[in-house]
Copies of this chain bind each other. A is one copy, B any other.
């Protein structure tokens, strides 16, 4: 794993752990690297979720929906506290591209995690597959934005 030159060391260590979790498709240790009041911004809904439980539930479900998942370019902000991870995957056979926009605090904890996915038909497929798997198990939105 290359390390982003610009990223602060604590954030880089967290990013490394994130990649290890994603390689195993097991996000159960996510609370160890996430701020308890993390803001999670789904590609499906505008209002963010404001809990680590919601983030774990959503992402653990997402990894079962994606197949052929790969990360590509990584970009860092000049303050060394945000990264963007470009990815590709398939959802129900449809090719998608996406990006994770992740902000860390100075202790390296993830404080904001935003996911974007294109194109439209892939995002609709994601919505359908998430609905099948999660039903109404997702906690209510807490609007923060």
Chain A interfacial positions (CB closer than 8 Å to B): 2, 4-6, 41-46, 73-78, 82-84, 86, 94-99, 101, 114-124, 127, 145
Binding site of A, secondary structure by majority: helix, strand, loop or mixed?
Answer: strand
On chain B, the residues within 8 Å of A127 by CB distance are: 120
Given A99-B99, A99-B101: A118 in contact with B120 (beta carbons within 8 A): no
Interface centre among A43, A76, A97, A118 (most CB of B within 10 A): A118
Inter-chain contacts of A5 with B (CB < 8 A): 6, 78
Known: A97-B116, A98-B116, A101-B99. Is A121-B46 also a contact (CB below 8 A)? yes
Residues in B with CB closer than 8 Å to A86 are: 84, 101
- CB closest residue in chain B, given A79: B73
Taking the closest CB of chain B, its distance from the CB of A145, in whole angstroms, is 8
Expressed in whole angstroms, the Cα–Cα distance for A114 and B87 within the complex equals 12
Residues of B within 8 A of A2 (CB): 78
A6 partner, pick from B6, B42, B95, B122, beta carbons under 8 A? B6
